[in-house]
Structure 1
Amino acid sequence: MASLAVKVVRLALKAVAAVSAEAAGRLAFRIFCLTPSRKPNSAKEAALLKAAAPTMERSRKVTLSFAGGWFVAHHFARRQSAEGPRILLAHGWGSRSAYLATLIDGLLAAGAEVVALDWPGHGASPGRSLTMPQAVRAIDAAWRHFDGFDVGIGHSFGGAALACAAGAVVCDVPARVTGKLVLIGAPSEMTWLFKGFGKMMALAPATQTAFEGMVKRLSGRRVEDFDAARILGMLRKPVLVIHAEDDKEVSAGHARRYGAAGPNVELSWANGFGHRRIVSAEPVIDRIKAFLGEAEKTTHLRRIA
């Protein structure tokens, strides 16, 4: 049963659509892009942020800008004498870099340099909304500032954003392709989100078309072009996809789509960890570190050559 808030929004969108389907589509898109409150939703989340504070204090905050906004990146330098890869780390929708502190600790212990983004509307970054084109532009800004990355690791929305950035789906932003990618609990395409939101809000066909059309206005591409699985299959870069079959937010079907995209994609199940606990699960971090070790060996051999 729909909540009272959803029912109210449905009525509002229906009323606007009676005057203009285009206006209703624009309004639906604005609502769709609203980011949740940064305040912890529970005592457990508050405890996680408190526990993450010592890790986050080790970082240097860097303010980066892109067309239409700015955001904060947390830069963690490699430990002394370490030669691990430079990693771009991206959190999921409604999250923040601090919630990835356990993973960050594991990556630093493996000798990596880590740049963790707080998306616009999240964590230390300003704003109350986020779009996939904005996320791609943020990745581009970080890429230019830090002179590229060896590995990209993204959870949920962050994983899809890294894949889309690699596929140059925003027409005026160049492809930003890391040597390897790790996607954790990530959606494989964006169409399902738009269709799902339209169904939840009971959008009429004309309003749905206008709603989806906002993506083309912002990126120069259709929503169907934001297909992360197809992009990664075409790039043929090594990809590790980690997912839990009990993930209730991003179904396991997305992981299977990635797995079927091409021989360059390795699918690793982390059942029992759901959608959020997966990023701090010890077996998951160990698997990622092993993946990084493979990347580090390749880099070392290339330097010798």
Structure 2
Amino acid sequence: MLYSLCYPLMWMLAYGHQKYHWCLVVTKRRPKLLLQTVVRPESHYHRQCNWLKRADIELLSWFSLSLAARYTLRLFERPTRMPCLSQDLAFEAQSVFDELTFSGHKVRVYRHEPECPNGQTLLLLHGWEGRSVMFRPLLTKLLSHGYRLILPDLLAHGHSEGSRCSFYELSSLILELDRRYGSFDAAIGHSFGGTALAIALDQGLTLKKMVTIGSPNGFGNMIDAYIDYFHYPSSLKAQLKHLYTRQQGKNPDDIGPPLWGRLNLPTLICHDSNDVVIKIQEAHDMHASFPNSQLCITSGRGHRGVLRDHQLHNAVLGFLSAA
């Protein structure tokens, strides 16, 4: 396909781009800090990559919606490993971690033990194309309040192995972490991490409380948002859900409002009003569906920046500590 054919060329361009940065630094026209940025097609030619993928999908759609759906599923479940800030890499290097083998891949799991434990263990799940260190601003506050924290880099993310990340595999990983580290008292999921938690709850995970941050109103809605965000043909929404139903035996739309109504655990639904990835209406719809939920709306932070918001931190701490 076009994307596969053009990708080696984009890597060559990225290599030349990186060498150009090196020349700028050597000639003292730019600071050395510039060399800390790794030029990659996915990060520096993001628009071109997305255009090629969209062209592939539209071409396939003319021949067969089924083929286009399978190709879209392959893209959907193959995240791009994004660059990590130097201070985050330093924080990871100082953190204690285990490495588990799951589905033939090593999964890195960070463990943070508080100085004064309160006896509660929390699971924190990052979002798509993220990594666990994104929780660092919230993590330090949770530790100071005595919570033991378990943070995996999910399959094909961060320091974990793999190139593919299936949502139903992730729910099995969550259940495995629950068995290994003792039952979690509560869990916090950002973006698709909240969706993975929902699937795990449907498959038997037991929690006392749950926090979602910038999460879609169900797995089906997440598929719809993915198709809309990348401007793929709308006809693929139903086809992709049909493909998931055939593979997993469950319609993605069932992981949403039909499930929320059966979950009585206290749930804090957090969202930023300026989130352009998952619209704020998703949070209001979730709040209306969960029988025992609270809503925390922040402003001006966006989809990932919300993890640094002090209002959100205080809301999470207050929610977790409430009887």
- 2:168 is matched with 133
> What value does the CA root-mean-square deviation take over the aligned residues?
2.5
- 1:49 is matched with 88
Deviates more, 1:214-223 or 1:84-93: 214-223
- Structure-2 change in CA distance of 1:104 and 1:211 (3 Å): same
- Structure-2 change in CA distance of 1:120 and 1:218 (3 Å): farther
How far off is 1:78 after superposition?
3.0
One-letter identity of the residue aligned with 1:114: L
| Among candidates 127, 133, 150, match of residue 92 of structure 1 | 127
How far off is 1:64 after superposition?
2.5
- 2:27 is matched with none
- SS of residue matched to 1:269: strand
Could you state the TM-score of these two structures normalised by the residue count of structure 2? 0.77
For the pair 1:74 / 2:110, whether they are aligned, the reply is yes
One-letter identity of the residue aligned with 1:75: R
Structure 2: state its 5+ residue gaps: 1-45
d(CA) in 2 for partners of 1:105, 1:151: 17
- SS of residue matched to 2:130: coil
How far off is 1:63 after superposition?
2.1
How far off is 1:18 after superposition?
5.2
- 1:176 is matched with 205
Q: Indicate if the aligned counterparts of 1:59 and 1:77 stay in contact, CA closer than 8 A.
A: no
- 1:32 is matched with 76
- SS of residue matched to 1:123: coil
| Among candidates 134, 142, 148, match of residue 107 of structure 1 | 142
d(CA) in 1 for partners of 2:279, 2:146: 33
d(CA) in 2 for partners of 1:125, 1:185: 23
| Among candidates 96, 101, 109, match of residue 60 of structure 1 | 96
- Structure-2 change in CA distance of 1:293 and 1:127 (3 Å): same
- 1:117 is matched with 152
For the pair 1:238 / 2:287, whether they are aligned, the reply is no
1:145-196 superposed Cα distances (whole Å, 9 cap, x missing partner): 112100101111111211221122xxxxxx1021001111111122233234
- Structure-2 change in CA distance of 1:17 and 1:255 (3 Å): closer
One-letter identity of the residue aligned with 1:167: D
Q: Who wins on radius of gyration, i.e. which is larger? A: 2
Q: How does 1:1-305 map to 2 (within 5 A)?
A: 3-17=47-61, 20-40=64-84, 46-50=85-89, 53-54=90-91, 56-57=92-93, 59-67=95-103, 69-80=105-116, 82-168=117-203, 175-198=204-227, 200=230, 202-203=232-233, 205=235, 209-227=238-256, 229-294=257-322, 298=323
Answer 1 or 2: higher relative contact order, Cα 8 Å, separation at least 6.
1
1:220-268 superposed Cα distances (whole Å, 9 cap, x missing partner): 21121221x4423311100011111121211111110121013401111
d(CA) in 1 for partners of 2:175, 2:107: 12
Structure 1: state its 5+ residue gaps: 41-45, 169-174, 299-305
- 1:171 is matched with none
Deviates more, 1:137-146 or 1:216-225: 216-225
How far off is 1:76 after superposition?
1.2
d(CA) in 1 for partners of 2:147, 2:226: 38
How far off is 1:285 after superposition?
1.2
- Structure-2 change in CA distance of 1:123 and 1:202 (3 Å): closer
One-letter identity of the residue aligned with 1:9: K
Deviates more, 1:208-217 or 1:144-153: 208-217
How far off is 1:211 after superposition?
2.8
d(CA) in 2 for partners of 1:279, 1:9: 30
One-letter identity of the residue aligned with 2:315: R
- Structure-2 change in CA distance of 1:114 and 1:37 (3 Å): same
Q: Indicate if the aligned counterparts of 1:62 and 1:72 stay in contact, CA closer than 8 A.
A: yes
d(CA) in 2 for partners of 1:28, 1:279: 29
